[in-house]
Amino acid sequence: MECCKLSKSVIHIQMRKWIAPLRFIYFGLCCSGRELRQNDMSPGIPIPTTHTAIIQHGGGELKVTHGVPVPSILPGWLLVKNVAVALNPCDFKMAARFPTPGLKNGVDFAGIVAAVGDGVKEFKVGDRVFGCVPSNKQDDPESGSFGQYIKVEVIYALRIPTGTSFEQALAFGPACVSTVALALHECLKIPATPDEIAYYEGHKAGETVLVYGGSSSIGLLAIQLLKLCGYHVVTTCSPHNFDLVKKYGADAVFDYHSQTCAADIRAYTRNRLKRVIDPFGETATTSLCYEAIGRAGGTYCALEQYQESLCTRQTVHHQLIMGPAILGRGVLLPEPYGIAPDPELHEWSKRFYRSLQTLIEEGTLKPLPIKVLEPAGFDTVLAGLELLKAKQVSGYKLVVPVASQ
């Protein structure tokens, strides 16, 4: 993968008294891992019986917790010594919505294989891997990435390319790109990677898709996957991010602060827009997306729960997509979040992850801009989640080292 030199800036932010000041290290769009930490661990990594993790306590409060049992692994699974994690809004939202003491949080991870389950041939101890895992899992409290050790099913582990750091691997947004792929496949009924195009009868190269909030991590990855599959991508964001979304492939961009944004999109698409992805599901975003969809109707795909009372057009199909559903194992939550197991989706997800590995290794998928929060550790993870809650993050993804090398 072609890389460039790191550009770095340092910003100090004073958080709560119990958290040390954070140091932001900014990395540009495509950075070399050669200047960052590399794997210097050899096979035979000692594994403790307990570790430190971020666990839900009363009321869904997330706390750094010591003495947590290290996850056990089954045949076909890996135990990974965590090196860095990326932060996502779901990391705090799910705990707040479904407080369950004892559950583990976090989805994105990057680390070193510490142990392999029976039957695993794809990886060995010492390999560098990244990916995402379900968290806040009612039927599996050990699942989650905010811990010194995590478990991951081998079919969902991605190999970190040579010359790429743990932090930069997380710039591919494992949880985000998985959710986008699921939205394209399951809701919009279009391919998520070029390998799949031949299998979708409804695929029409050049058809327009609207991605609301294109400068978000979800948005930048959605733009890329859609462009790789031949779609014309329209997006929205603030004017200061126009250049960013165009760099990632957006064909047209509109200011979502504008009073005429939806009307402008409808005019641009000649009142024919049929497919929309909305990462946020807020009142304003749902309303704008519905207004932008053309006269004949189409599909509104939300990645957060939305107000169905706003979905007043009978010709517009609306659907909520839950990222963890991509595993095909079901999601054990109350409606509308609960998802039944789907064996066909499970098989599709395995094919998608193989295609995703290829896109990353070939340099076809661009990494997201990231900011690395320091000092390393789980207290900094909690501080970073506060930044996400306060909506102080825009145009980049937060990454936190959790282990020294």
CATH number of the domain at 386, please. 3.90.180.10
pLDDT of residue 19: 39
From the list 268, 270, 275, the residue with the least C-alpha distance to 251 is 268
Residue 117, phi then psi, degrees to nearest 5: -80, 170
Q: Give the other-Cβ count within 10 Å of 197's Cβ.
A: 15
- Judge if 214 and 307 occupy the same domain: yes
CA–chain centroid gap for 113, Å, is: 21
CA–chain centroid gap for 96, Å, is: 19
Strands (E), 185-343: 208-211, 232-237, 252-255, 275-278, 298-302, 316-320
- Judge if 151 and 183 occupy the same domain: no
Specify the amino acid at residue 115: A
Q: Which CATH number belongs to the domain containing residue 309 in this structure?
A: 3.40.50.720
Of 329, 344, 359, which one is at a domain's C-terminal end? 344
Helix axes 261-268, 283-292, angle to 10 degrees: 30
Please report, in tens digits, the pLDDT of each residue of the chain (405 residues total): 334 333 333 333 333 333 345 555 545 443 333 232 333 333 467 899 999 999 999 999 999 999 999 999 999 999 999 999 999 999 999 999 999 999 999 999 999 999 999 999 999 999 999 999 999 998 899 999 999 999 999 999 999 999 999 999 999 999 999 999 999 999 999 999 999 998 887 788 899 999 999 999 999 999 999 999 999 999 999 999 999 999 999 999 999 999 999 999 999 999 999 999 999 999 999 999 999 999 999 999 999 999 999 999 999 999 999 998 998 888 888 777 788 889 999 999 999 999 999 999 999 999 999 999 999 999 999 999 999 999 998 889 999 999 865
Give the single-character DSSP code of 68: E
- For residue 228, being part of any structural domain is answered with yes
Token representation of residue 100: 């369950």
Contact 97, 125 (CB under 8 A): no
- Judge if 94 and 219 occupy the same domain: no
Residues in contact with 294: Cβ distance below 8 Å, sequence separation at least 6, in sequence order: 266, 269, 270, 271, 272, 273, 274
Angle (CA) 380-356-139 rounded to 5° is 60
Token representation of residue 22: 């954070």
Contact 108, 86 (CB under 8 A): yes
Give the single-character DSSP code of 185: I
Residues in contact with 19: Cβ distance below 8 Å, sequence separation at least 6, in sequence order: 379, 380, 382, 383
H or E element that contains 273: none
pLDDT of residue 23: 56
- Judge if 76 and 196 occupy the same domain: no
- Judge if 164 and 183 occupy the same domain: no
From the list 376, 2, 367, the residue with the least C-alpha distance to 162 is 2
- Report the distance separating Cα 136 and Cα 138, nearest Å: 6
- Judge if 43 and 162 occupy the same domain: yes
Give the single-character DSSP code of 71: P
From the list 318, 255, 306, 312, the residue with the least C-alpha distance to 280 is 306
- Judge if 45 and 163 occupy the same domain: yes
Q: Give the other-Cβ count within 10 Å of 343's Cβ.
A: 9
pLDDT of residue 328: 86
- Report the distance separating Cα 370 and Cα 36, nearest Å: 14
Full domain range(s) for residue 149: 10-173+368-401
- Judge if 251 and 164 occupy the same domain: no
Residues in contact with 389: Cβ distance below 8 Å, sequence separation at least 6, in sequence order: 92
- Report the distance separating Cα 38 and Cα 61, nearest Å: 34
- For residue 312, being part of any structural domain is answered with yes
- Judge if 53 and 195 occupy the same domain: no
- Judge if 216 and 151 occupy the same domain: no
